[in-house]
Chains A and B, each alone.
Chain A
Amino acid sequence: MTETVEFRPLPADIGEHELLVNMGPSHPSTHGVLRVVLRVDGETVVDALPDLGFLHRCFEKLAESWTWPQVVPLTDRLDYVSAMTNELAYVIAVEKLAGIEVPERAQVIRVIMAELQRIASHLVWFGSFANDLGATTPFLYAIREREHILDLFEAAAGARLTYSYLRIGGVRNDLPPGFVEKCRDFLRLMPKRLKEYENLLLKNVIFVARTKGVGRLTREQAIAYGCSGPVLRASGVDFDLRRDEPYAAYGRFDIDVPVGTEGDVYDRTVCRFEEMRASLKIIAQALDALEPGETMAKVPRVLKPPAGDVYSRIESPRGEVGVYLVSTGGTGPYRVKWRAPSFVHLESLPLMCRGHYVADVVANIGSIDIILGEVDR
């Protein structure tokens, strides 16, 4: 009666002293339903193979049967920790395809939202990463600060996680009254809190010992493996789409891009951490640049972009989100291809883990900040 389920990938050449350990799909530190098959020799990892697909929801296929605007809420559910930037990636691609000119105020609002979202997303990462390393308290602190951002989003979009706030041609509605003031309050509060986190975790001897020299990706490796975002920058590549290929209103602002040198877990941590500071700076500039005006372009009720294809990419908190759209001139996309940074980064996980300890696998997974909703789509 016993049915044998063959798990793949199952290496046939498992050594005498080696043990095959299944990390996940239900494991507290795989950030969802990632399964990593670990080949361990004692506590040392010989090989780590990520196994994906537990959260596959047919996003790309589903999008083909929906209309252009209907796909926006779907993109929310890919990287659910950073829904705003996902919407932004899709919306910008469609606008490029249909040749829609977005009003300036909407562009600035988009920048504010995307940067707030970046901070919120990095806060979630910060908390769960600390948790992965055994420090439970920073998670609660990070969530406390994220609450301010979610309140702001709720005021603007009415939702706290999946916003559907950005629309093709602009944003759904203008900023609600009081939003700018509350946002400025947050900007005043956050640097103090970041300092606090730094003292609590980043300067901690144990934390430094756990992260320095772990999961190192050289500059060449990071480029070869297609890394992007903080993972790429931690390896010493000074590349940020917001600055180098400006979209929305990013071209108007002064953007700090923190770059690491070692490419280890510690540098990735510091890079993300400094990015939060940089985002605060961008938001402050964007709030100053807000001028009254339209927030929505004239978009036909039934949108039918001309036949053709477009690839557009933006800098999400996790890295480069790329959207490839094919239109046949119909009311919906013919094909949607989503380049998810988490998915690409997972490829470099075995490289980071080999030769290190089991505990480092957890640190590595945390440091590339994967979101499984985006990995599996």
Chain B
Amino acid sequence: MLADLVGLLQRLWGQLHMAASVSPFWQAVFDVSWGLVKFLLVVLFMILNTLVLVWLERKLSARIQSRLGPMRCGRPHGWLQLIADTFKLLGKEDIIPRAVDKALFIIAPVVVFTSSLLIYVVIPLGPGAIVSDLDVGMVYLAAAASFTVMGVLMAGWGSNSKWSLLGAMRGAAMLVSYEVPMVLAVIAVVMVSGTLSTDGIVRAQSGLWNIVVQPLGFLVFLAALFAELNRVPFDLAEAESELVAGYNVEYSGLRFAFFFLAEYANLLALSAVAVTLYFGGWQGPWLPPFVWFMLKTYAFVILVMWIRWTLPRVRVDQLLSFGWKVLLPAALVNLFATGIYVLWV
């Protein structure tokens, strides 16, 4: 019966292709709408995963802290908690303080959320399962990833609160110090793989994962990733115990939920990027590619969470000097070594 259904779908698909190929116009319409469908599927994938991640973080942090975490709402182990959380945030009053810059204040959460969404476009979930395999995938990725800070700055400035402003300024200061080493680390991967396309990078790792060739580059990337994700030890823009909540202190309800979701969406996206760049993406024996991809990504997510619940936070000047005096030289050395490797080995 399943085979019948698949056959039917395949026939339909073929007919659609045939119908579309009669004129360039219909071909374009077909391409665009198919792209949209794929994108919506990815959005759905992201939102579902984000909810799981919120739950996972709560349970994991509870385990680390010798607590139980959510247990009551939904048995076993409070799986309904995420739905309760969502409804709670939806039900909150939407407060826009009088003194804020209204336009910036309203747009900021959308910008943050969208920028994390953009990353998903070039992540290969499996062979061919990618929204758009851009030729300049890595360039696009670097651009999309740093876009989050725009939203943070908008929120911090637009909130017209001193704490948010401090948070946003920290975010901006951090951006310049970690973005450069991160991009340099990514360039080294691109040199090894010989392609800018994310799918190509995954395929280039069929024999050997990049982590083996690029251990130093991976460490640089990992450190920059924490700054990019705004997580402990580099969660300076939020810094609950210093800046109250940093850039999002004035937000409530649904707008806050957007920041919150974006944080987890970003976590998943960048973990997926790390897996794509260094851990062979969807490649792996026996299991289907998508399962491999998810396994690796979640392992990475758990690593990030684990570190978050273990370490204290660095100070802003320490992060900057770490970025410029440690990460950048390390990334340059790595780039140089990679150049030699690619040329002569």
A interface residues (Cβ-Cβ under 8 A, vs B): 19, 21-22, 27-29, 40, 42-43, 130-137, 140-141, 144, 200-201, 204, 206-207, 209-210, 357-360, 362
Please name all residues of chain A whose beta carbon is closer than 8 Å to the beta carbon of B163 when the two chains form the complex.
Answer: 21
At the interface, yes or no: B310 with Cβ under 8 Å from chain A?
A: yes
Q: Known interface pairs A206-B313, A358-B166. Does A28 touch B244 (Cβ–Cβ under 8 Å)?
A: yes
| Contact indicator B313/A141 (Cβ below 8 Å) | no
At the interface, yes or no: B64 with Cβ under 8 Å from chain A?
A: yes
Please name all residues of chain A whose beta carbon is closer than 8 Å to the beta carbon of B232 when the two chains form the complex.
Answer: 134-135
Interface string of B214-239 (1 = CB under 8 A from A): 00000000000000000011010001
Contact of B312 among A22, A134, A357 (CB under 8 A): A134
| Contact indicator B311/A135 (Cβ below 8 Å) | yes
Please name all residues of chain A whose beta carbon is closer than 8 Å to the beta carbon of B67 when the two chains form the complex.
Answer: 140
Shortest beta-carbon contacts, A-B, top 7: A134-B313, A140-B65, A135-B312, A133-B312, A29-B241, A134-B312, A359-B315
Please name all residues of chain B whose beta carbon is closer than 8 Å to the beta carbon of A19 when the two chains form the complex.
Answer: 162
Please name all residues of chain B whose beta carbon is closer than 8 Å to the beta carbon of A29 when the two chains form the complex.
Answer: 241-242
B interface residues (Cβ-Cβ under 8 A, vs A): 61, 64-67, 162-163, 166, 169-170, 232-233, 235, 239-244, 309-318
Please name all residues of chain A whose beta carbon is closer than 8 Å to the beta carbon of B65 when the two chains form the complex.
Answer: 136-137, 140-141
What is the bound-complex CA distance between A51 and B104, given in angstroms? 34
Contact of B162 among A21, A135, A137, A210 (CB under 8 A): A21
Q: A28-B244, A130-B312, A206-B311 are in contact. List 18 more A-B contacts (CB 8 A).
A: A19-B162, A21-B166, A29-B241, A43-B316, A133-B241, A134-B241, A134-B313, A135-B232, A136-B309, A137-B61, A137-B310, A200-B310, A204-B311, A204-B312, A357-B317, A359-B242, A359-B313, A360-B315
A selection of 30 A-B contacts at a CB cut-off of 8 Å is A21-B163, A27-B244, A28-B240, A28-B244, A29-B242, A43-B169, A43-B316, A43-B317, A133-B313, A134-B233, A134-B235, A135-B311, A135-B313, A136-B61, A136-B65, A137-B310, A140-B66, A141-B65, A200-B310, A206-B233, A206-B311, A209-B315, A209-B318, A357-B315, A357-B316, A357-B317, A358-B242, A359-B313, A359-B315, A359-B316
In this complex, what residue of A is CB-closest to B67?
Answer: A140
What is the bound-complex CA distance between A130 and B232, given in angstroms? 13
Most buried by A among B162, B232, B317: B162
What is the bound-complex CA distance between A357 and B311, given in angstroms? 20
Q: Known interface pairs A21-B162, A21-B163, A134-B232. Does A210 touch B312 (Cβ–Cβ under 8 Å)?
A: yes
In this complex, what residue of A is CB-closest to B232?
Answer: A134
